[in-house]
With several copies, the nearest count.
Chain A
Amino acid sequence: MASKTSKTKKTTKTQVNGTDDEPDLIRTEFEYRSFQSEHVDHRELELKDDQLLDMYRNMMLQRRFEERAAQMYGKQKIAGFLHLYIGQEAVSTGAANALNVGHDSVITAYRDHGIALALGMTSNECMAELFGKIDGCSRGKGGSMHFFSADKRLFGGHGIVGGHIPVGIGIAFAHKYKEDGGVCLCFFGDGAINQGSFHEAANLASLYRLPVVFVVENNQYAMGTAVHRASAETDLFKQASGYSMPGALADGMDVFDCYRAFTEHIALARENQPSLLEVRTYRYRGHSMSDPGKYRTKEELEERKDNDPIIRLKAYLLDKELTTNEALDDIDDDVKKEVLESVEFAENSEFPPLESIYEDVYVQEDYPYLGQSKN
């Protein structure tokens, strides 16, 4: 069903010698389905009841973590660029639950806090990184845009739009080469799809049949640029046809649909069938902390918030009587506590020692840096 749901029916190759004056027709077909909580039972998706509560907690953790990070940015505990994922949590949580974390690989752009927490990286190491401290997930060298975890196989956190997409297929290439059964989820934004790097990577992945899922998180905007102002074809998943790979669409505001779609596409990847999954989602906050957000109306924003993925999951849980308001409140308190502790942890963590500026550049220990002696 995975394949059925999103395979592109290939057409026979074109020949240039039709003697008929009547034009031949070439068809390319896509299918997509939206499979949402309003009309689904999680058991159909083989999701256990308590897994749903974990998902709820994880989405809540991502949100509270970033709300607190925003506050700390205001207090200048955090500097540089801070891009919040708030609103998109269903995507990261849905993906992580469909993945074999620690075995499969993930790479994404600079809006990376959500997926990091979804993969099980700790609030402590993430907040410490934002603070630029030694206990951060990148030892204070990467900051918000450059989260890494060898443990959870998060290969970054990348700041150059589109630049990490070829790296993603390389990670997948190595999984296939080593025959370790792993796949790579390669996330990028609706703005990134217009970079040539996507085109080259998509063709290479399809040509070499690499175990990768290209996930375009279409949150409708690249900074202030709406999709229709950046992409001539606004159905981004249709790009798949240029590389004869499956293209599909999922509802990024619905954790069930995300889980369903990721499960299907990861299954394709395990058969070395790369694919393009467009997830339609929405970011509530500005592009980064400095964004006035004039490019959209309050009404649009509010309307999207009515479709909030956390609220929808909560409604589902209560509706299906899988939990109680009290139990959910306990989760919320527990999350708040974890986040507050992470702030304290980050505060108390040390700044990296100055000598460490010359560490982690090269594996070679005794590399002769220019001017190093003089410092």
Chain B
Amino acid sequence: MAELQFREAIRDAMVEEMDRDETIFLMGEEVAEYDGAYKVSEGMLDRFGPKRVIDTPISENGFAGLGIGAALNGLRPIIEFMTFNFSFVAIDQIINNAAKIRYMSGGQFKIPIVFRGPNGAAGQLAATHNTSTESIYATLPGLKVIAPSNPDDAKGLLKTAIRDDDPVLFLESEVMYGMKGEVSEEKDYTLPIGKARIAREGDAVTIIGHSKSYWLALKTADMLKEEGYDAEVIDPRTIRPLDINTIVESVKKTNRCVIIDESNPFASISSEITYQIQERAFDHLDAPILRITAKDTPAPYAKNLIDYYMPSAEDAHKACRKVMYLD
């Protein structure tokens, strides 16, 4: 194992795959000469040259569509959105082209493309730069949606995503780029799409969290641990397809579940996980499933407001105690 930053793990995944496969290229705003707005692609222009590491104008709809066309015609594009907040100007390309062209062509074409970049909240950036997009994208059949929480998963899953023949949205996080973690040095290290990770075993309550929320889930479990309860912590890692079996098996054991998610709550991942759990494990539930999410408002700028806006381990801890009928 080597200790790498999240951004380094992502870079290594791209570099290794691009070394392996000539048809892969990276395109996005500032990915080449600037080394990436968040330095994720640092050094890649030097390594692969301007043919394969390409700066774009600020035309997300244009270069997202370009990527889809290139994928239809035999290449394997990695399209970086500087952040997924900016993917909304390109969402028609993702919804109506990436997710549907294969289907409408009766399977004649495939679209092996990865759209990647930071997603969700990143501090005091205010409403336009703080949107969690996973619930919007995961609702769409035809796409796959991945949101890793640590460098090792990021590397293994991104390599798999790049090799996958279907369109994948790979959701990262500004605030996690600097986070360090052990990453497998196994050559050709890949992780399967659609497999959740049981990060900690326990029987008191199942706590689910992806991406940044995974770390809140761990923190919540620690708080419970101090109180003598072993929570089971699950990181779905993949949002679509969702590994519901792993989740349901856990809930059958713990009989209760709390979901932490930075998204706005309405019709979000937490809603869906709840539906699927109660559909499959109704008789095993001893308490309602509770969620801790961002507030049901746009994201504010002020320090105190944005802190209040985000889900917290304290609230998750309260929710756990509630479903455990401790108070």
A–B direct touch in complex (beta carbons closer than 8 A): yes
Please give the residue numbers on chain A whose beta carbons come within 8 Å of chain B beta carbons, in ascending order: 79-81, 105, 107, 132-133, 136-143, 145-146, 148-150, 155-175, 177-178, 184, 191-192, 194-197, 200-201, 203-204, 207-208, 222-225, 229-231, 294-295, 351-352, 354, 356-364, 367-372, 375
Stretch of B205-213, B227-235, B253-261, B295-303 that contacts chain A: B295-303
Residues of chain B lying within 8 A (CB to CB) of residue A155: 69, 72-73, 109
- Asked if A164 contacts B89 (CB within 8 A), the reply is no
A44 → chain B closest CB, angstroms: 34
- Asked if B57 contacts A150 (CB within 8 A), the reply is no
Bound together, the chains give a CA A198 to CA B267 distance in angstroms of 33
Residues of chain A lying within 8 A (CB to CB) of residue B305: 132, 140-141, 351-352, 354, 356-357
Most A CB atoms within 10 A — which of B59, B70, B142?
Answer: B59
Residues of chain B lying within 8 A (CB to CB) of residue A223: 29-30, 34, 37
Identity of the chain B residue whose Cβ is nearest the Cβ of A194 in the assembled complex:
B57
Identity of the chain B residue whose Cβ is nearest the Cβ of A182 in the assembled complex:
B73
Majority secondary structure, A binding face: loop
| CB-defined A-B contacts under 8 Å, sample of 30 | A81-B129, A105-B73, A139-B106, A140-B300, A143-B302, A145-B126, A148-B109, A150-B108, A155-B72, A160-B97, A163-B89, A170-B70, A172-B69, A173-B66, A173-B70, A173-B75, A174-B74, A177-B70, A178-B73, A200-B57, A204-B57, A230-B57, A295-B33, A351-B303, A351-B305, A352-B300, A362-B102, A369-B296, A370-B266, A371-B296
- Asked if B104 contacts A146 (CB within 8 A), the reply is yes
Picked from A192, A357, A367, the residue with its CB within 8 Å of the CB of B300 is A357
Residues of chain A lying within 8 A (CB to CB) of residue B74: 174, 178
Picked from A200, A204, A207, A363, the residue with its CB within 8 Å of the CB of B166 is A363
Residues of chain A lying within 8 A (CB to CB) of residue B89: 160, 162-163, 195-197
Picked from A141, A172, A195, A375, the residue with its CB within 8 Å of the CB of B301 is A141
Residues of chain B lying within 8 A (CB to CB) of residue A369: 141, 295-297
- Asked if B265 contacts A166 (CB within 8 A), the reply is no
Picked from B34, B165, B296, the residue with its CB within 8 Å of the CB of A372 is B296
Task: Answer yes or no: B137 CB below 8 A from chain A CBs.
Answer: no
Given contacts A163-B89, A351-B304, A361-B141, contact A200 B62 (CB under 8 A): yes
Residues of chain B lying within 8 A (CB to CB) of residue A142: 104-106, 126, 301
Within 8 A of A (CB), among B44-76: 51, 54-59, 61-75
- Asked if B166 contacts A160 (CB within 8 A), the reply is no
Please give the residue numbers on chain B whose beta carbons come within 8 Å of chain A beta carbons, in ascending order: 23, 25, 29-30, 33-34, 37, 51, 54-59, 61-75, 77, 85-86, 88-89, 92-93, 96-97, 101-110, 112, 123-129, 141-142, 144, 164-166, 194, 241, 265-266, 293, 295-298, 300-305, 308-309
Bound together, the chains give a CA A59 to CA B129 distance in angstroms of 30
Residues of chain A lying within 8 A (CB to CB) of residue B103: 141, 360-361
Picked from A156, A172, A222, A357, the residue with its CB within 8 Å of the CB of B105 is A156
Residues of chain A lying within 8 A (CB to CB) of residue B241: 367-368
Please give 12 more A-B residue pairs, beta carbons under 8 A apart, in addition to A357-B305, A360-B103. A142-B106, A156-B104, A163-B65, A166-B65, A169-B69, A170-B67, A204-B56, A225-B30, A360-B105, A363-B166, A364-B165, A368-B241
A-B pairs, top 4 by smallest CB distance, nearest first, are A170-B69, A166-B65, A139-B106, A200-B62
Residues of chain A lying within 8 A (CB to CB) of residue B123: 79-80
- Asked if B61 contacts A224 (CB within 8 A), the reply is no
Bound together, the chains give a CA A36 to CA B324 distance in angstroms of 75
A119 → chain B closest CB, angstroms: 14
Bound together, the chains give a CA A107 to CA B69 distance in angstroms of 10
B67 → chain A closest CB, angstroms: 6
